[in-house]
Amino acid sequence: MELERAGIIAENCVAILKPLCERIEIAGSIRRRRPIVGDIEIVCIPRGKEMYSFVETVNKWYKLKGEPTGKYTRRLLPEGIKLDLFIANRDNWGLIFAIRTGNAKFSHEVLAIGWKKKGFESRNGILFKPDATKTFIREEKELFDLIGIPYVVPEMREIR
């Protein structure tokens, strides 16, 4: 699907979910401004008190995989494009948002290899040192700082 059309659909999804979330952003190829989009990726933090309404709203879209009570669900939107919805929290927002912005090779070859070189491993959306010390990545820039590279704008996160 063309970027402009996918972007409008993604913005509509954000508008529907925003009142039920403390934070929500479009990620993936739309955020990277790719001319052709394969699916819509959104990262969100649902409001605790709105969780029932959040789940009810997401469940109106056709389920392909996962539940909105977990970390990830895939839905088929009425417009015929898939929505990958990633549920984060305040402590892992930056990590999840960076990974889900992609592209997949950038997330693996730059981000994941970068944190592994610094002695971290990722478990359930949190970075850990071998002694089990947690490192929270609340903002995307914190991840770039941690792995020791300058922040890369989404449009430049393409590795083929």
Residue 98 and residue 69 in one domain? no
Using 50, 70 and 90 to split pLDDT, how confident is the model at 76?
Answer: very high
What domain count does the chain have?
A: 2
Rounded Cα distance, 35 and 33, in Å: 6
Q: Once rounded to an integer, what is the mean pLDDT over residues 45-60? A: 97
Residues 78, 98, single domain; the answer is no
Same domain, 82 and 98: no
Residue 159 has pLDDT above 90, yes or no: no
pLDDT, the chain, mean = 97
What pLDDT score does 88 carry? 98
Mean pLDDT of 84-107: 97
Question: 111 and 74 in one domain?
Answer: no
**Could you tell me which of 40, 41, 42, 43 has the C-alpha nearest to residue 81?**
40
